[in-house]
């Protein structure tokens, strides 16, 4: 049974129908890539999986481990092991990275009936996550995403991933704006978390470029267009898209629509 299962999902924001019947399943340990032209609904799909309050599910459902979470709030989903790295991480002035990580970790522990993490264990967890993601220590004393460069924010998202160790990680254009070394670090971070003993991490990578997909290799590739998945394939589809663009897929879809 796949861990994440999306069935016939229709989503509206304001008076706009953005997703129009999406089916997608991501099993534990699987890496999926979600691609598609700008404005096709990729971030919307990521946001609705996390339960963004401004999105309305008008039809269909989202299941997590067989449980219907379509109406669950974002906090609850996070506690159930869903994690998303944002396309545009927001700054939280006044809350340091350390404070943020500790609050999130303890909220997760509380939901499992566990005591707050000891200072020693917390330091150790953050320390190893920092080594993995090559985030300098001084960053953790700064306010979350406040004044961080674009690439630094993306790295911080992976630091959160490494600390939280979720069951499903949605990475929304985490590769955009990263230099070549940072891209490699981020990819290694994802692969290490996924490869950890006992980990059954499912990954949904939203990206426009094949370069991250050479480092974090998907087994399934989906193309979203106008709110529907219009093409699916294996890793070979990535190279095909890079070479040919989306026109050969979207022309066919548009022709069928008239
Ligand atoms: N809250 C909203 N209100 C109105 N329209 C919205 C809202 N959120 C998203 N949209 C629209 O839905 C469409 C899909 O947006 P989305 O951000 O999901 O695209 P995307 O595939 O992630 O694009 P990109 O590759 O540029 O990141 C866009 O046309 C966007 O303007
Ligand atoms: Mg987007």
From the CA of 86, how far away is ligand 1's center (Å)?
Answer: 14
Continuous segment of H or E residues that includes residue 10 = strand 4-13
SS3 133: helix
Total count of domains within the chain: 1
| 85 token code pair | 């790295």
- The number of the ligand 1 atom at minimal distance from the alpha carbon of 40 is 21
Which are the contacts of 240, defined by CB distance < 8 A and separation ≥ 6?
233
18 lines ligand 1 (CB under 6 A): yes
pLDDT grade for 94, boundaries at 50, 70 and 90: very high
Stretch 42-48: mean pLDDT: 98
Q: How many CB atoms are located within 10 Å of the residue 200 CB?
A: 14
Is 90 exceeded by the pLDDT of residue 197? no
Which residue range forms the structural domain that includes residue 181?
Answer: 4-257
CB distance 37 to 246 below 8 Å: yes
Is residue 94 within 6 Å of ligand 1 at its C-beta?
no
pLDDT of residue 222: 98
What is the Cα–Cα distance from 25 to 5, expressed in whole angstroms?
Answer: 4
Ligand showing the shortest atom-to-Cα distance for residue 52: 1
Closest-lying ligand 1 atom to the alpha carbon of residue 55: 1
First to last CA, the chain: 37
pLDDT of residue 203: 97
β-strand partners of 68:
63
Residue 115 token pair: 């005591």
pLDDT at 233: 97
Mean pLDDT of the chain: 94
Q: What percent of the chain has pLDDT over 90?
A: 93
pLDDT value, residue 239? 95
Q: Is the distance from the beta carbon of residue 42 to the nearest atom of ligand 1 less than 6 Å?
A: yes
What local confidence, expressed as pLDDT, does residue 98 receive?
A: 95
State the alpha helices, DSSP H only, in 53-210. Answer: 74-79, 97-111, 119-133, 150-164, 180-195
pLDDT exceeds cutoff 60 at 213: yes
Going by pLDDT thresholds of 50, 70 and 90, the confidence category of residue 112 is confident
Closest C-alpha to ligand 1, atom 12 = 18
Does ligand 1 have an atom closer than 6 angstroms to the CB of 44? yes
The burial of 23, by beta-carbon neighbours within 10 Å (0-12 exposed, 13-18 middle, 19 or more buried), is given as middle
Residue 2, pLDDT above cutoff 60: no
Say if pTM beats, i.e. exceeds, 0.85.
yes
Pocket test for ligand 1, best of 33, 34, 37, 42 (most atoms within 8 A of CB): 42
**Site to substitute for ligand 1 among 9, 19, 39, 84, most atoms within 8 A of C-beta:** 39
**Distant-in-sequence, close-in-space partners of 177: CB < 8 Å, separation ≥ 6:** 150, 151, 154
Please state the rounded mean pLDDT for residues 230-254.
96
Residue 6, both tokens: 């999306």
- The more confident residue out of 258 and 134 is 134
Q: How far apart are CA 51 and CA 71, in angstroms?
A: 8
- Nearest CA to 102 out of 92, 112, 120, 117 is that of 117
Residue 1 in this model has a pLDDT that exceeds 50: no
Q: Hey, which of 11, 14, 17, 41 would you mutate to test ligand 1's pocket, going by the most ligand atoms within 8 Å of its Cβ?
A: 41
* Contact indicator for 44, 18 with CB cutoff of 8 Å: yes
Q: Report the C-alpha gap between 228 and 234 in whole angstroms.
A: 18
Q: What is the pLDDT of residues 65-82, one digit of tens each?
A: 999 999 999 999 999 999
Q: What is the CATH number of the domain that holds 33?
A: 3.40.50.300
């Amino acid at each position: 049974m796949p861990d994440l299962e999306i069935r016939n999902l229709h989503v509206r924001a304001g008076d706009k129908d953005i997703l129009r019947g999406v089916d997608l399943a991501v099993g534990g340990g699987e890496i999926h890539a979600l691609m598609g032209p700008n404005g096709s609904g990729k971030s919307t799909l990521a946001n609705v999986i996390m339960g963004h309050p401004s999105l309305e599910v008008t039809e269909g459902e989202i299941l997590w481990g067989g449980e219907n979470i379509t109406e669950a709030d974002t906090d609850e989903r996070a506690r159930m092991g869903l994690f998303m790295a944002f396309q545009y991480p927001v700054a939280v002035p006044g809350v340091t990275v350390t404070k943020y990580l500790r609050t999130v970790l303890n909220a997760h522990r509380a939901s499992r009936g566990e005591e707050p993490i000891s200072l020693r264990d917390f330091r150790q967890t953050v320390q190893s996550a920092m080594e993995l993601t090559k985030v300098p220590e001084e960053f953790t004393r700064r306010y979350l995403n406040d004044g961080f460069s674009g690439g630094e924010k993306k790295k911080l998202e992976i630091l959160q991933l490494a600390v939280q160790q979720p069951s499903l990680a949605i990475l929304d254009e985490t590769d955009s704006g990263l230099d070549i070394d940072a891209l490699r670090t981020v990819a290694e971070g994802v692969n290490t978390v996924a490869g950890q003993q006992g980990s059954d991490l499912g990954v949904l990578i939203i990206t426009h470029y094949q370069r991250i997909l050479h480092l974090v290799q998907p087994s399934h590739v989906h193309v979203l267009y106008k709110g529907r998945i219009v093409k699916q394939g294996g890793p070979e589809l990535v190279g095909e898209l890079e070479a040919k663009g989306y026109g050969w897929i979207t022309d066919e879809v548009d022709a069928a629509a008239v």
